[in-house]
Amino acid sequence: MGFTGYGSAEDIFSAFGGIFGDSFGQRFYRRQARSPRRGQDLVAEVRVSFLESVEGARRTLRLERQKTCPDCKGTGDKSGAEPRPCPACSGTGRTMRRGGNLGGFVSVSQPCPACSGTGSQAAELCGACRGQGVVPGRTTLDVKVPAGVSDGQVLRLAGQGSPGQRGGPPGDLLISVRAEPHPELTRDGSFLRAKVRVPLVTALLGGKVKVPTAKGSAMLAVPAGTQPGGVLRMAGLGVSEGGRSPGDELVEIEVDLPRELTPRQKDLVAKLGEELAGGAGE
C-alpha cells in the first residue's frame, strides 16, 4: 500500500490505525498529547527616532500576556494535582472516525472534543482558569533597542512570550522596530548619505561647509576643484551594526551656481574662461 495523498505523520498513523487497530496510532498520539508544548510567540512594535536607531535606545513595553494560573500552578486542576488522562480518548488527544473520503476501512483522526486535543482532564476544574492552566495577565518589560537597528527589523526576546503547556518552554516576544526617517540623511547599511550645496567659489578654490550628521552637524573640508556630483567621505560618522566599528558618511556635492550675474560679474567670468582656455591650450 502506498502513501500517496498522506501529507503528514498523523495521516500515516491514521491509516495504519484503521488497518491494524486503533492502538497502533493511539500510542503515537498519546506521546504527542502528553508532551510539553511551547508557548505562543507574542508580537509588539516600538518606534524610535533616526538618532536612536543609530545610537540605540530603551523602551518600556506594557503587554497583555497570559501567565501561569497561581491557583492551580498551571495544572488546570483545583487541587493542583496533575490532570488525569482523558477517558474519552485514553489520553491520546485524538479520536478516530471511520470512513469518509478515504474508504470505510480507514480511520481518520481528529482532535478529541472532550479535552480539546490535550489528552488530559482535571478531576475538578480550577475555577480561576477553568482548567486552562493560564489566566490573563499584564507585564512591563524594559527593552533595549540596540545601536544600528534598521527600520522594519525584528528583535527576538527569548522566553518573553506566552507560557508553555505541561511544563513546556515559553514562547518568544517579537518586537518590530519602526525608525523615523531623517529630513536630510538616508541610510545605506552602515553608511549614511547626505547631499550638500556649496558655492561655486568654494568648489573652485576649496573651503569648508556645514553638513548634517546623525549627531547634529559637522564641518566638511571641500578640496579645490571639487566637481558637481563628487562624493566626499567623513570617516566614522556612519552607523555601527552588530557592535562593529561605525561606517562612514558619504556626502554628495551639489554646486550652487548663480542664476543671475551683473554686467561686471559676466565680464569677470568671461575673462576667467579665456584664461582657463588659454591655460588648457599651453
> The domain that contains 132 carries what CATH number?
2.60.260.20
pLDDT score recorded for residue 104: 53
In this structure, the answer to whether residues 46 and 165 fall within a common structural domain is yes
Is 5 inside a domain boundary? yes
pLDDT tens figures, 124-174: 788 888 777 788 888 899 999 999 999 999 999 999 998 876 667 889 999
Q: Where do we find the cell 558637481?
A: 228
Give the C-alpha separation, 221 to 212, whole Å.
14
Is 282 inside a domain boundary? no
Q: Cell numbers of 86, please? A: 482523558
Last residue of a domain, one of 99, 120, 141: 120
In this structure, the answer to whether residues 61 and 171 fall within a common structural domain is yes
In this structure, the answer to whether residues 51 and 143 fall within a common structural domain is yes
Is 99 inside a domain boundary? yes
With b for 16 or more beta-carbon neighbours within 10 A and e for fewer, the 41-74 pattern comes to ebebebebebbbbbbebebebeeebbbbbeebeb
First to last CA, the chain: 93
Last residue of a domain, one of 165, 181, 197: 181
Is 279 inside a domain boundary? no
Q: Tell me the whole-structure pTM to 2 decimals.
A: 0.66
Q: Cell numbers of 251, please? A: 556626502
Sign of the C-alpha dihedral, residues 217, 231, 225, 223? Answer: positive
37 to each of 13, 125, 162, 165, how far by Cα in Å?
A: 21, 20, 11, 5
In this structure, the answer to whether residues 130 and 16 fall within a common structural domain is no
pLDDT tens figures, 1-34: 444 444 444 444 444 444 444 454 555 555 555 5
In this structure, the answer to whether residues 127 and 164 fall within a common structural domain is yes
Is 271 inside a domain boundary? no
**Contact between residue 177 and residue 156 where contact means Cβ atoms under 8 Å apart:** no
Q: Is 264 helix (H, G, I), strand (E, B) or coil?
A: helix
- If one counts the domains in the chain, the total is 3
Strand partners, 43: 174
In this structure, the answer to whether residues 139 and 114 fall within a common structural domain is no
Is 264 inside a domain boundary? no
Structural domain including 255 reads: 186-259
Is 195 inside a domain boundary? yes
Element (H, E) at 98: strand 94-98
Last residue of a domain, one of 135, 155, 181: 181
In this structure, the answer to whether residues 65 and 174 fall within a common structural domain is yes
249 to each of 84, 136, 185, 186, how far by Cα in Å?
A: 65, 48, 9, 10
Is 9 inside a domain boundary? yes
pLDDT score recorded for residue 214: 92
Give the C-alpha separation, 44 to 62, whole Å.
10
